[in-house]
């Protein structure tokens, strides 16, 4: 991808390289739409029954491992994980909109639609799901064919060596980002993050999503067995979604720290300005 | 919460809850696309799941300790109260519409037909699941007895329970109707079907979400047009709250 090696003689002139392929850029922005639609409509669906269980079954009389609920009078909201209870009044379980108290689990500003409607939430969720699944499969096939996965995403030999990994962790912690030619490639932590999203989190999201469909359960019972039951699949679906949120937060943070204009431009036009090497 | 934080969150709501984006989604074409996906999802699922594929059946030990009752827990009308008091001795299941042999069957007649018993999982659209044992008459046997016409496309279930003044109803297509696990249940967990679970007859259509499983069933109608029932969307919740007619996901 790095077609223009930086010229040492023109250190001050910005060096533009082609960094992201069209397929990567198109998939990225489609995913922004699909993933935000999915996350926010997913919270609406969660609000219909804000409890998570392990196993095949789970309903109000059974013991959830996670629940978002409110005190009896509705004034205080909390999240309970196992026996650990965290007060979340104002955000989860009890929150206000236009001066009116609501005891829905996730607040209106996180959900799609912003009012509670399970049927609309589901409608948008499946719209997002089809978008994510179709675009994801096409991108994955295309990226295997054009060797994007092999060349740019999978860690190279040596990159997974503990010393190299540790160095990369330290560089990230010190906000010391690659400069010059190295900045055009993904560093190993970045590769690991992208590979986990592409090959672990997204497939798990899709499989657990299908694992909650009673029709799919009839034809593809193996998914139920893989996750240990329908309610387990629902729990894993939620956990994977939260993992995706963590990825997005860190991803956005890194974009801001690494130079938002340059980074965002490279994801729109594909062109990336190499940060000049230090000391030259 | 301080004033400024409140303002900040209000500002975020405008951007993040996407007053704007939500408007795009609610706009005609996107909404029409999202709604038509219902059928697309059904076709896709039918493509990869054989029409006779069975829902998982569990052992008795895997049942929920308490099976949550949802929706109408009773059909609160004087007529239903009377049937309940009579132990449904005079309850009749009618089978009408596009059939060659309209029926009006007492429960005793249904119980004489070959029955099916299955321990299955009930998945509510809200997200919870409960496992229970159901015994009932395969719908196929009833439909065969009534000789459903070749022009029929859907089977509609008319119920005795009311939401306000609106009776509950639901509909399924013939693939689900003739599925071997689709039964009209009259026993649950080894006992006569309890009132809160739809006594005396409750549809079990095991590859669909809970709202399809009509309770207090008193009539079955074979039809080629769902537009003639309720507000025309094929079921009470479909009419009332926009629930998807395809409840396989």
Q: Which helix (H) or strand (E) holds A121?
A: helix A118-145
- Give, as one character, the DSSP assignment of residue A184: G
Mean pLDDT over B25-32 rounds to: 78
Question: pLDDT by residue (tens digit) across A262-276?
Answer: 999 999 999 999 988
Interchain contact, B54 vs A109, CB within 8 Å: no
Q: Which helix (H) or strand (E) holds A68?
A: strand A66-70
Q: Residue B203 phi/psi, 5° resolution? A: -70, 135
- Could you tell me which residues come within 8 angstroms of residue B57 by beta carbon, excluding any fewer than 6 positions away? B118, B119, B120
Report yes or no: A61 at the B interface, CB cutoff 8 Å: yes
Interchain contact, B37 vs A127, CB within 8 Å: yes
Tell me how far apart the alpha carbons of residues B249 and B235 are, in angstroms, rounded to a whole number: 16
pLDDT surpassing 90 at residue A7: no
Higher-confidence residue of B91 and B10: namely: B91
Interchain contact, B128 vs A58, CB within 8 Å: yes
**% pLDDT > 70, chain A:** 94
A37 interaction partners in chain B (CB closer than 8 Å):
25
What chain B residue is nearest to A234 in terms of C-alpha separation?
B127
The whole-angstrom distance between B12's CA and the closest CA on chain A is 8
The residue with tokens 């029954």 is A49
Interchain contact, A218 vs B56, CB within 8 Å: yes
Question: pLDDT by residue (tens digit) across B169-195?
Answer: 999 999 999 999 999 999 999 999 999
pLDDT surpassing 90 at residue A120: yes
Question: pLDDT by residue (tens digit) across B13-28?
Answer: 444 545 567 777 777 7
With vertex at residue A37, the alpha carbon angle to CA A36 and CA A43, rounded to the nearest 5 degrees, is: 90
Contact A162, A72 (CB under 8 A): no
The whole-number pLDDT of residue B19 equals 59
What DSSP string runs through chain B? --HHHHHHHHHHIIIIIIHHHHHHHHSHHHHHHHHHHHHHHHHHHHHHS-TTPPPP---GGGS-SS----S-S---SHHHHHHHHTTTTT-EEEEEESBSS-EEEEHHHHHHS--EEEEEEEE-TTS-EEEEEEEEEEHHHHHHHHTB-TT--EEEEEEEEEETTEEEEEEEEHHHHTSTT-EEEEEETTEEPPGGGTTT-EEE-TTS-GGGS--SEEEEEEES-GGGSTTSSSSHHHHHH---S----
pLDDT surpassing 70 at residue B12: no
Interchain contact, A37 vs B25, CB within 8 Å: yes
Residue A82 buriedness (CB in 10 A; 0-12 / 13-18 / 19+)? exposed
The residue with tokens 């696990």 is B181
B58 interaction partners in chain A (CB closer than 8 Å):
56
Interchain contact, A117 vs B34, CB within 8 Å: no
Lowest-pLDDT choice from A265-279, B53-67, B218-232: A265-279
Q: Residue A179 phi/psi, 5° resolution? A: -125, 170
Mean pLDDT over A164-180 rounds to: 90
Q: Which of B33, B129, B241 sits opposite A127 (nearest CB)?
A: B33
The whole-angstrom distance between A198's CA and the closest CA on chain B is 23
Tell me how far apart the alpha carbons of residues B101 and A81 are, in angstroms, rounded to a whole number: 57
pLDDT surpassing 50 at residue B1: no
Coil/strand/helix, residue A7: coil
Q: What does the block give as tokens for B111? A: 């119980």
pLDDT surpassing 90 at residue B46: yes
Cis omega (within 30 of 0) on the bond before A164?
no
Residue A29 buriedness (CB in 10 A; 0-12 / 13-18 / 19+)? exposed
pLDDT surpassing 80 at residue B8: no
Tell me how far apart the alpha carbons of residues A121 and A113 are, in angstroms, rounded to a whole number: 6
What chain B residue is nearest to A220 in terms of C-alpha separation?
B49
The whole-number pLDDT of residue B36 equals 87
Higher-confidence residue of B17 and A180: namely: A180
Lowest-pLDDT choice from A92-96, A199-203, B34-38: B34-38
The whole-number pLDDT of residue A2 equals 44
What chain B residue is nearest to A211 in terms of C-alpha separation?
B249
Q: Of A100, A120, A103, A36, which is closest to residue A67 (Cα–Cα)? A: A103
Tell me how far apart the alpha carbons of residues A1 and A4 are, in angstroms, rounded to a whole number: 9
The residue with tokens 């007053």 is B19
Interchain contact, B22 vs A112, CB within 8 Å: yes
Q: Which of B67, B123, B242 sits opposite A230 (nearest CB)?
A: B123
Report yes or no: A178 at the B interface, CB cutoff 8 Å: no
Count of C-beta atoms within a 10 Å radius of residue A5: 12
Contact B223, B97 (CB under 8 A): yes
Give the model's confidence band at A9: pLDDT under 50 very low, under 70 low, under 90 confident, else very high.
very low
Question: pLDDT by residue (tens digit) across B136-163?
Answer: 999 999 999 999 999 999 999 999 999 9
Tell me how far apart the alpha carbons of residues B186 and A81 are, in angstroms, rounded to a whole number: 39
The HSE-up count of residue A256 (CA atoms within 13 Å, CB side) is 6
Query: Interhelix angle for A230-258 vs A22-48, to 10°?
Result: 130
What chain B residue is nearest to A208 in terms of C-alpha separation?
B249
Question: pLDDT by residue (tens digit) across A40-86?
Answer: 999 999 999 999 999 999 999 999 999 999 999 999 999 999 999 99
Mean pLDDT across chain A: 92
The whole-number pLDDT of residue B5 equals 53
Contact A16, A269 (CB under 8 A): no
Domain positions in chain A are: 1-21+146-280, 51-105
Within the 105-164 window of chain A, which residues sit less than 8 Å (CB to CB) from chain B?
108-114, 117-120, 122-124, 126-127, 130
The whole-number pLDDT of residue B6 equals 52
Alpha-carbon distances of B68 from A224, B74, B210, rounded to whole Å: 22, 14, 11
> For an interface test with B, which of A37, A218, A222 has the most B Cβ atoms less than 10 Å from its Cβ?
A218
Tell me how far apart the alpha carbons of residues B75 and B119 are, in angstroms, rounded to a whole number: 25
The whole-number pLDDT of residue A250 equals 96
How many interchain CB pairs under 8 A, A with B?
Answer: 155
Give the model's confidence band at B4: pLDDT under 50 very low, under 70 low, under 90 confident, else very high.
low
The whole-angstrom distance between B72's CA and the closest CA on chain A is 17
pLDDT surpassing 60 at residue A279: no
User: What pTM does this model have?
Assistant: 0.91
Contact B222, B229 (CB under 8 A): no
Interchain contact, B56 vs A221, CB within 8 Å: yes
Report yes or no: A60 at the B interface, CB cutoff 8 Å: yes
Q: Which residues face A51 on adjacent strands?
A: A67
The whole-number pLDDT of residue A6 equals 45
Tell me how far apart the alpha carbons of residues B204 and B154 are, in angstroms, rounded to a whole number: 16
């Amino acid at each position: 991808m790095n077609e223009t090696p930086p010229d040492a003689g023109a250190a001050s002139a910005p060096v533009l390289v082609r960094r992201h392929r069209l397929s990567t850029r198109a998939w990225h922005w489609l995913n922004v739409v699909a993933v935000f639609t999915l996350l926010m409509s997913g919270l609406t669906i969660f609000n219909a029954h804000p409890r998570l269980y392990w196993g095949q079954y789970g309903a109000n009389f059974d013991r959830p491992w996670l629940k978002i609920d409110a005190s009896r009078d509705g004034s205080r909201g909390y999240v309970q994980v196992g026996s650990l209870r965290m007060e979340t009044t104002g955000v989860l379980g009890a929150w206000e909109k236009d001066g009116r108290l609501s005891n829905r689990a996730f607040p209106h500003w996180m959900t799609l639609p912003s009012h509670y409607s399970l049927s609309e939430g589901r409608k948008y969720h499946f719209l997002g799901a089809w978008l994510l699944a179709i675009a994801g499969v096409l991108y994955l096939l295309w990226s295997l064919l054009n060797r994007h996965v092999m060349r740019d995403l999978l860690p190279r030999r040596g990159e997974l060596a503990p010393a190299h990994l540790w160095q990369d962790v330290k560089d990230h912690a010190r906000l010391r980002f690659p400069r010059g030619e190295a900045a055009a490639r993904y560093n190993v932590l970045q590769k690991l993050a992208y590979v986990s999203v592409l090959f672990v989190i997204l497939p798990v999201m899709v499989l657990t999503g299908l694992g909650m469909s009673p029709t799919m359960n009839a034809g593809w019972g193996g998914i139920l067995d893989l996750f240990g039951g329908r309610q387990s699949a629902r729990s894993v679906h939620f956990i994977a979604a939260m993992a995706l949120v963590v990825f997005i937060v860190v991803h956005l943070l890194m974009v801001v720290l690494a130079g938002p204009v340059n980074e965002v431009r490279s994801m729109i036009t594909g062109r990336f300005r190499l940060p000049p090497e230090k000391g030259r | 919460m301080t004033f400024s934080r409140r303002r900040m969150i209000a500002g975020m709501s405008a951007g993040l809850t996407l007053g704007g984006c939500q408007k795009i989604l609610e706009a005609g074409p996107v909404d029409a696309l999202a709604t038509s996906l219902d059928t697309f999802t059904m076709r896709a699922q039918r493509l990869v799941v054989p029409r006779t594929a069975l829902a998982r059946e569990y052992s008795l030990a895997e049942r929920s300790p308490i099976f949550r009752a949802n929706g109408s827990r009773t059909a609160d009308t004087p007529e239903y109260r009377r049937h309940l008091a009579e132990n449904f001795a005079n309850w009749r299941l009618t089978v009408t519409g596009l059939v060659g042999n309209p029926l009006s069957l007492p429960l005793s007649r249904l119980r004489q037909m070959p029955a099916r018993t299955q321990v299955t999982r009930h998945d509510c659209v809200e997200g919870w699941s409960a496992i229970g044992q159901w015994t009932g008459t395969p719908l196929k046997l009833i439909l065969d007895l009534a000789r459903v016409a070749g022009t029929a496309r859907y089977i509609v279930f008319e119920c005795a329970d009311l939401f306000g003044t609106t009776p509950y109803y639901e509909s399924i297509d013939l693939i689900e109707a003739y599925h071997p696990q689709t039964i009209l249940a009259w026993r649950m967990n080894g006992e006569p079907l309890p009132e809160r679970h739809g006594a005396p007859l409750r549809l079990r259509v095991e590859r669909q979400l809970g709202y399809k499983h009509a309770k207090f069933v008193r009539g079955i109608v074979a039809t080629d047009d769902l537009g003639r029932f309720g507000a025309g969307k094929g079921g009470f919740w479909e009419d009332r709250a926009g629930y998807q007619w395809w409840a396989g996901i």
